[in-house]
Chains A and B, each alone.
Chain A
Amino acid sequence: MSPIVLLRNRRVRELAYQVLCVAAVVGCGWYLLNNALANLAKQDIATGFDYLGREAAFIISETPIAYEPSDSYGRALLVGLLNTVKVAVLAIVFSTIIGTIVGIARLSSNPLLSRLMLAYVEALRNVPLLLYLFLWYSAIIFTLPPVKQAITLLPGVYVSNSGLVVPAFVWNSGFWAVATAAIIGIAAAILWQRWAGRRRILTGKIVPGWPVATALFVLPVAAAVLFFDVSGEVDWPVLGKFRLTGGAHLKPEFVALLLGLTLGASATVAEIVRSGILAIRKGQREAAKALGMSDRQTMRLVILPQALRVIVPPLTNVYVTTFKNSSLAIAIGYPDLVMVSNTIMNQTGQAIEPIALFMFVYLLLSLATSALMNWYNGHVALKGRQP
């Protein structure tokens, strides 16, 4: 058969499209890869991931785990990754709390409050995050007083142009005993809550939930404190003549980034919470009232469980976005994964591997966040279908 006739066959045509497409992609990739290899060989740049084991020889200003310049590039990257996770997780937690409050306040019947909250949301959503990061960072660095004249925000909390100093709790001993006990306690409390809920649905009897759950959490921790040698102290910062001693020091880069990410995400969370509550039909609230439920009961048992179904999927997006936005850290010099990778690129001359590596890590972080939130969504989505 001639090729023209063959092309009239739909399946042949479909196969041809696909083969052409894949061939084009593979061909382009092959061509680019060859160019890259030739260029790298010419510029005498190494390839592969051997660099991860070599000595990093640069200082990182914030290290959640022990790190010395004599450590390897691999460890430097790990420090960067932990910094990313630290700032993003804190921003997610704070923005969820602030956003929920703002979102509910937006629906307040008090026009002054709801308009103030609207102004808050609009001011944050209509200005780029990066601009806010520069603004907060400059405000901290240039307009706050130097350390020796640090402003006391709360007792023990000082702000100055070198960041924020807060009291820290230092464990002398027994940290692991308390941590283990707390984990056991939390697990027991969750299991109890589940069992109580299931029992209430099955038998209709109300089992005490929260009191028992709290006790289940408090008891193991108390036991750990009693039976193990637990000691620790609060390290209060002290304002000396020239500097602050003691406490935990949060650098201006970290504070600016956390502030920017938190405020930015909180505005989006507020909009999501608001539209989630608005999405619940009026009849639900009226029916709850007709059944004699109090306002609090209506909110907790009728409105929120249904609103969560609407809220959780877009909230997942906000969390994933927050992780990705934390990469703006490089603009103000917070040593996150991207900034450490950038330093490594400059030092080794290798560009492809570090970029590929951090893209891969972000992909994993995005997927992990989505998976976690989807699991949670599964919990809130199908209420009422279980026995």
Chain B
Amino acid sequence: MSDQSTTMAEGRSAPRRPARRNETFKAYFGTPGNTVVTLICLVLLGLAAKAAASWLLINAVFDGAPEDCKAASGACWPYVAAKLRYMLFGIYPFDEQWRPLSATLLFIAAMAVSGIPRLWGRSLIVAWAVLLPVLFLLMAGGAFGLTEVATSQWGGLPLSFMLTFIGLVCALPLGILLALARLSKLPAIRILAVTFIELVRGVPLISILFMASVMLPLFMPEGVTIDKLLRAQVAIILFAAAYIAEIVRAGLQALPAGQTEAAKALGLHYWQCTFLITVPQALKTVIPPLVSLFIGFFQDTTLVTIVGLLDFLNTVRTALRDPNWQGIAVLEGYVFAAVVYFVFSALMGAYSRFLEKRFRVGHD
């Protein structure tokens, strides 16, 4: 949904020459028009800084009871402290919350390590294949003395990460297949793929989530029920697959025709040519837009809030319903969530730009 790819054309961050005071002065106050712009910016910045400081710090309450917050006009930080664990982990059993915490930390660490291009390879895939069941076991329990926790009790930040990550990992192969089908010479397969991709891309994600949560149970044979979380996950996978398919298709189409011709001349048949020659090269070129898509989907998973799953945004929202704090701290939770989303998205955005730079060097 969100179109992150446009951030990529990086600006003219020309390296600063050894600071000459004259030039710096000129940049801000060179012409009368420029001076006016600078002054307006300074005033706006000053006003914003003053408002932010008075709400966040000066008039804020850092320690105290709900009554203290009611009296103050600033932010109510005790609220965030009191509801922090609920916001992060939802209704996961309180005494077991070290499990989602360690699972989340493990996941973030693993993601950070996997981001190093030098480590990309088979062993990384094997490591993830080992790690994912461990994470699942940590969350779900039921073995090694861990009590079982039903998926209906999962929530908060780990759920948001899970929906995003599993969504994209499962959507990637599906997306590749869809892209291949769309480029296929066989008309029936091509038409099916085009219909699916355009249909999914033409409707809002929320309608697909609705379909999964309301319509899907009607389509199941009697007695079969699918976990609510799984249904939303499947919806996200199908949605992401259509977008990934278009990105991969762009990568495939950008390949020179000589690659397939050479593969054919060597006697490789279609599947060999596809999975040994074209797809690996195409994937390499589309890694930066895929990372951008990842950021977009990390934000789009918040939509599961609307179908009632307790993702991070929804735990933040439902934390407001605590009768002790009702009507007292209405914005603090959202501001906290905004900071969390901002940090993760900005980090991934910076990573995406790093990858782009790296790959651009490799190709020119």
Which residues of A are in contact with B by a Cβ distance under 8 Å? Answer: 14, 17-19, 21-22, 25, 32-33, 35-36, 38-40, 42, 106-113, 116, 122-123, 125-132, 134-135, 138-139, 142-143, 268, 271-272, 274-275, 278-279, 314, 317-318, 321, 324-325, 327-328, 330-331, 338, 342, 345, 351-352, 355, 358-359, 362-363, 366-367
List 6 contacting pairs A-B, 8 Å CB cutoff, sorted by A. A39-B222, A122-B346, A132-B338, A138-B330, A268-B3, A321-B3
How far in angstroms is the closest Cβ of chain B from A353? 10
Contact A35 to B186, CB < 8 A, known contacts A268-B3, A314-B3:
no
CB pair A268 B41 closer than 8 Å: no
**A129–B7 Cα gap in the complex (Å)?**
17
CB pair A130 B349 closer than 8 Å: no
Contact A116 to B45, CB < 8 A, known contacts A134-B317, A363-B199:
yes
B168-197 vs A, CB cutoff 8 Å, 1 = contact: the mask equals 000000000000000001111100100000
> Nearest B residue to A264 by beta-carbon distance?
B2
CB pair A330 B207 closer than 8 Å: no
The answer, among A25, A106, A113, A126, for a CB contact under 8 Å with B342, is: A126
The answer, among A32, A132, A318, A355, for a CB contact under 8 Å with B207, is: A355
**A116–B2 Cα gap in the complex (Å)?**
22
**A279–B12 Cα gap in the complex (Å)?**
12
CB pair B330 A142 closer than 8 Å: yes
Contact A330 to B306, CB < 8 A, known contacts A17-B186, A110-B38, A130-B313:
yes
**A338–B307 Cα gap in the complex (Å)?**
13
CB pair B203 A362 closer than 8 Å: yes
Further pairs besides A112-B38, A317-B3: 6, Cβ < 8 Å: A113-B38, A134-B334, A324-B203, A338-B210, A363-B202, A366-B202
* Chain B positions 20-64 with a Cβ under 8 Å from a chain A Cβ: 27-28, 34, 37-38, 41-42, 44-45
> Nearest B residue to A275 by beta-carbon distance?
B9
How far in angstroms is the closest Cβ of chain A from B223? 11
CB pair A272 B6 closer than 8 Å: yes
Which segment, of B94-102, B212-220, B282-290, faces chain A?
A: B212-220
What is the interface of chain B mostly: helix, strand, loop, or mixed? Answer: helix
Which segment, of B79-87, B135-143, B250-258, B295-303, faces chain A?
A: B295-303
How far in angstroms is the closest Cβ of chain A from B221? 5
Contact A36 to B38, CB < 8 A, known contacts A18-B186, A126-B342, A127-B345:
no
The answer, among A130, A278, A279, A317, for a CB contact under 8 Å with B302, is: A130
How far in angstroms is the closest Cβ of chain B from A323? 8
CB pair B313 A325 closer than 8 Å: no
> Nearest B residue to A141 by beta-carbon distance?
B330
Which of chain A's residues have a CB closer than 8 A to the CB of B153?
Answer: none
Q: Which of B6, B205, B341, B349 has the most CB of A within 10 A?
A: B6
How far in angstroms is the closest Cβ of chain A from B302? 4
**A275–B335 Cα gap in the complex (Å)?**
30
- B337 contacts the other chain (Cβ, under 8 Å)? yes
B331-345 vs A, CB cutoff 8 Å, 1 = contact: the mask equals 100110110011001
The answer, among A25, A123, A330, for a CB contact under 8 Å with B192, is: A25
Q: Which 7 A-B pairs have the closest CB atoms?
A: A275-B9, A18-B188, A126-B345, A128-B299, A324-B204, A327-B204, A142-B330
The answer, among A112, A127, A271, for a CB contact under 8 Å with B28, is: A112
**A319–B104 Cα gap in the complex (Å)?**
36
- B272 contacts the other chain (Cβ, under 8 Å)? no
Which of chain B's residues have a CB closer than 8 A to the CB of A127?
Answer: 299, 338, 341-342, 345
**A132–B214 Cα gap in the complex (Å)?**
26
Which of chain A's residues have a CB closer than 8 A to the CB of B185?
Answer: 14
Contact A116 to B188, CB < 8 A, known contacts A127-B342, A138-B334, A279-B9:
no
- B211 contacts the other chain (Cβ, under 8 Å)? yes
How far in angstroms is the closest Cβ of chain B from A94? 18
Contact A328 to B219, CB < 8 A, known contacts A21-B188, A131-B334, A338-B207:
no
> Nearest A residue to B8 by beta-carbon distance?
A275
CB pair B305 A331 closer than 8 Å: yes
**A11–B11 Cα gap in the complex (Å)?**
52
CB pair A32 B334 closer than 8 Å: no
Which of chain B's residues have a CB closer than 8 A to the CB of A113?
Answer: 37-38, 41
**A122–B345 Cα gap in the complex (Å)?**
10
